[in-house]
Structure 1
Amino acid sequence: MKGILLTASLLALGAGLAQAQKTTLTIESWRNDDIKIWRDVIIPAFEKQHPDIHVVFAPSAPTEYNAVLAAKIKAGTAGDLITCRPFDQSLELYKAKQLTNLNSLPGIKNFDTVSKAAWSTDDGKTTFCVPMASVIHGFLYNKKAFSDLGLSVPKTEAAFLAALDKIKQNGKYVPLVMGTKDQWESATMGYQNIGPTAWSGETGRKGLISGKAQYNKGGFLTAFTSLAKWKPYLAPGYQALAYPDAQNLFSQGRGAVYPSGSWDIGTFRQMNPDMELGAFAPYSINGQKCVISDQPDIAMGINAASKNQESAKTFLNWVASDVFASLYANALPGFFPLANVKYTLKDPVAQEFLNWRNQCGKSFRSSYQILSRNANPNNENDLWNASSQLLNGSLSAQAAADMVQKNLASWYGPQKGK
């Protein structure tokens, strides 16, 4: 009996020591809509490979995240891992020495320059968050409508407009489902969707930053001109159509084409599980090769004050792996890991979006890096305003482009006088 008790005591002691040696990592995040995915899918997979590390996912409300995180960092109570929003908000954390430099992290080699840009210094020399996922711009379409009218997926602007003409003449479906009431869709799902092809992706985007390119010339003006051609195909009363209204209209099968992004895949799967969805990439303009907006959305860095730096690095190296990529992409269809690793998707529409990375060039929204640092005028807001006014018919393509360019040149050094 004494031997049994001694053995039991030793086992209990061993278990206690093992528990004591286990490191706990806490993740700060604004994404509180995917708690179940993290707790039931992602974290268990990591802990199975790394039983010595326990991970806790502790998100805040999206609108409160910045303030909550700042307060926690100041109080010294922030988690070990910080979920990073793209561009300036995370850059400011790094500049304040609140995020760790990740240049030496082995997993960072799995990401190209475009993927890292949203979480790197302006000169691109230092990366401080591991990119987790992006969303990709393109077009969703109603397969039934295309089948009814004998339409094929358009690959050029001419084919796109010809298809919309045929849909309009038939009268059964709204050719192009998008409203201008909320303004942002006009720019985000319109201008920034077809634009990267027109301005040659990174060449044009970086040209705006350096001052070599302008919004009212070349490809940026072409994008406004091409967007203006959508106006005759929008739904009656589109000026009063808000984003949720457009989603409802399309999910009911009443529309043919929905300018969008991969983030809407999950929404339509929930709204109408029986809908036959398809997707096609931004069409070619003037014979140029397609370029997609592979918009950086979410990343993860290490709290510089964390006492668990090595365990946090272990987790981030795993985030940069193919195992994480497959888990995350399949759990959240339409959100695509940015690591250069191979993974396949169960959702065929999400897979179609992902395929474009191999078929097209890639860039991201022109206004997101550096150019929207001014409060008023603000480049992002100007694009919303100009794009919606263009579609409403109150501005011509040239006038819209001139307005955006004038406001950018009013404060941004490299564009002054241009």
Structure 2
Amino acid sequence: MSAAVVAVCASWAPMAQAASTLVIESWRADDLAIWQDKIIPAFEKAHPDIKVTFAPTAPKEYNAALNAKLESGTAGDIVTCRPFDASLEQFTKGRLAPLNDLPGMNNFSAAAKLAWSTDDGKTTFCVPMASVLHGFIYNKEAFDKLGLKEPKTEDELFAALDKIKKDGTYVPMAMGTADQWEAATTGYQNIGPNYWKGEEGRNAVIQGSQKLSEGGWVETLRTLAKWAPYLGDGYKAQSYADSQNIFTLGRAAIYPGGSWEISGFNAQATFKMGAFPPPVRKVGDTCYISDHPDIAVGMNTKTKNPEAAKKFLTWVTTSDFAKIYANALPGFFSLQTAPVAVDDPLAQTFVGWRNGCKSTIRSTYQILSRGAKPNLEDATWGASANVINGTETPEKAAERLQAALANWYKPQQK
């Protein structure tokens, strides 16, 4: 090899080694193939000088593992952010970088950034990726067989449940109470917004002008208690996974849940599915849906590759990323201001509700679950399961939730 060739090779060697590498921390272990096959290749094609590795941790272990890594300085460059307090705590400890000046952050409304912003809304520290919508998924074949239409009101829903139960072919509704969070998340938080009027009621509790023991808050629990006769034999011992299986095996007509189920149900169910939003209480009422912020990404303040990390986060703010993510994971909907088209028919149904209903978020997630013993979110799990099981009246459950909140939250101590 000539001296000239050696010199040229030597000049290129530093460039070959100069590519930045980014590691993404996440709890979405089920999404590994999607990141490896679709998301990362698209980013690296646009940024060939940056190499990305997706390194997920099991969901239940993620918070603790991430905390340990951030404390020890071994965490990845990009951190997948859970909504509200878990990520806010990381920011206040100086572990997540502020992103107000990141290019593309103006593609999100203040509401879209709410779950990853400080309480005063002045600083955002994660880029919103997606939200999930609550609602009811149903077996179209069962509905056709029984001559049922999608219920618009609660009376119509209970009439449909009565007809399904009388026929006896299907469990009317697949939901159990063994995993208490299922009753709260797919029950209470699903139908509740129509009772407490979404953001109006949620913000009223934060401000202290409404109590959890009055009005729509207790009425939600009263309606939830009426679900018990339609959940099938053994629902008290039925886990979340059991509920999923009962529905996808075609044994239940209706599944109260949300858009996060779409990918799994598409893979497992052999029948056609439809979905309807939480039925309003009476004809003419405003429709409210829980359009809950689910996932975002931020930058580890100790990253050794801040410029590369910023390039990745900026790319996440673009429509290119939003289109890839929303269609690779149908049911996880973009939070960007500009609409993002989705291909999956069931996902199209869910996201279409944004046009006719007012969006809100799960009532316990912002601020209200910071108290301990008991935490309001955890207390809501128990209350929701108890009223369905008949071990606690809706009124007593609502009073207990109010007491749990007033025990520590000053606006509720008036």
Do the structures match in fold with TM over 0.5?
Answer: yes
Distance 1:320 1:365, change over 3 A: same
Q: Which of 164, 168, 178 is matched with 1:167 structurally?
A: 164
| Number of equivalences | 413
The match for 1:120 is: 117
Larger mean CA deviation between 307-316 and 210-219 belongs to: 307-316
Q: SS at 1:180's partner residue?
A: coil
**Residue 285 of structure 1: which of 274, 281, 285 is its match?**
281
SS at match of 2:286: coil
2:216 pairs with 1:224: no
Match of 2:60 in 1: 63
Cα separation, 2, equivalents of 1:163 and 1:107: 46
Q: Note the alpha carbon deviations across 1:213-237, whole angstroms, 9 max, x for none.
A: 1112122122222222322222122
Which structure 2 residues correspond to residues 68-107 of structure 1 after superposition, within 5 A? 68-107=65-104
Could you tell me whether the CA contact under 8 Å between 1:204 and 1:213 is conserved in 2?
A: yes
TM-score, structure 2 length as denominator?
A: 0.94
Aligned equivalents of 2:400 and 2:73: distance in 1? Answer: 45
1:334 aligns with 2:336: no
Report the Cα offset of residue 102 of structure 1: 0.8
Q: Is the 8 A contact 1:174 1:254 kept in 2?
A: yes
Moved more, 341-350 or 82-91: 341-350
Are residues 393 and 68 of structure 1, via their aligned partners in 2, closer, same or farther at CA, if it must alter by over 3 Å? closer
Instruction: Decide whether aligned partners of structure 1 residues 176 and 67 sit closer, same or farther in structure 2, where only a CA change above 3 A counts.
Output: closer
1:81–1:303: 8 Å Cα contact kept in structure 2? yes
Alpha-carbon displacement from aligned partner over 1:312-345 (angstroms, at most 9, x marks no partner): 2221121111111111122122222222233222
Q: Does structure 2 retain, via aligned residues, the 8 Å contact 1:35–1:57?
A: yes
Q: Is the counterpart of residue 246 in structure 1 residue 236 in structure 2?
A: no
Distance change (3 Å), C-alpha of 1:67 and 1:344: same
Aligned with 1:201 (options 198, 204, 207): 198
For the aligned residue pairs, the C-alpha RMSD in angstroms reads 1.9
Say if 1:135 and 1:296, in contact at 8 Å, map to a contact too: yes
1:276 aligns with 2:272: yes
Displacement of 1:137: 0.7
User: Map of 1:325-404 to 2, 5 A cutoff?
Assistant: 325-404=322-401
Q: Which of 195, 202, 215 is the matching residue for 2:212? A: 215
Match of 2:321 in 1: 324
| TM-score, length of structure 1 as denominator length | 0.93
* Deviation at residue 14 of structure 1 after TM alignment: 5.5
**Equivalent residue in structure 1 for 2:108, among 84, 106, 111:** 111
Does 1:414 find its partner at 2:405?
A: no
* Distance across 1 between alignment mates of 2:83 and 2:186: 19
C-alpha offsets along residues 97-139 of structure 1, whole Å, 9 cap, x if unaligned? 1111111122221222222121111122111011112221100
Kindly tell me: are residues 320 and 252 of structure 1, through their superposed partners in 2, closer, same or farther at Cα, counting changes over 3 Å? same
**1:114, 1:363 within 8 Å by CA — same for their partners in 2?**
no
Alpha-carbon distance in 1 for matches of 2:376, 2:4: 72
- Give 1:167 shift: 1.4
Deviation per residue, 1:58-94 (Å, 9 max, x gap) = 2233333333323332333322211111111111111
Which residue of the partner structure matches residue 29 of structure 2?
32
Q: Which runs of 5+ in 2 are unaligned?
A: none
CA distance in 1 between partners of 2:251 and 2:235 (Å): 14
Q: Partner letter of residue 229 of structure 2?
A: P
Per the TM alignment, residue 188 of structure 1 is displaced from its structure 2 partner at its CA by: 0.6
Preserved contact between residue 177 and residue 235 of structure 1 (Cα < 8 Å): yes
Partner of 1:156: 153
Distance 1:293 1:8 in 2: 63
Whether 1:49 aligns to 2:46 is yes
> What amino acid is the match of 1:285?
R
Do 2:334 and 2:340's aligned partners in 1 also have CA atoms closer than 8 Å?
no
Question: d(CA) in 1 for partners of 2:38 and 2:389?
Answer: 45
Asked if the contact 1:208–1:214 (Cα under 8 Å) also holds between the matched residues in 2, the reply is yes
Please list every run of 5 or more consecutive structure 1 residues that lacks an aligned counterpart in the other structure: none
Letter in 2 for 1:152: K
Identity within the alignment, %: 54
CA distance in 1, matches of 2:11, 2:48: 15
2:364 aligned counterpart, secondary structure: coil
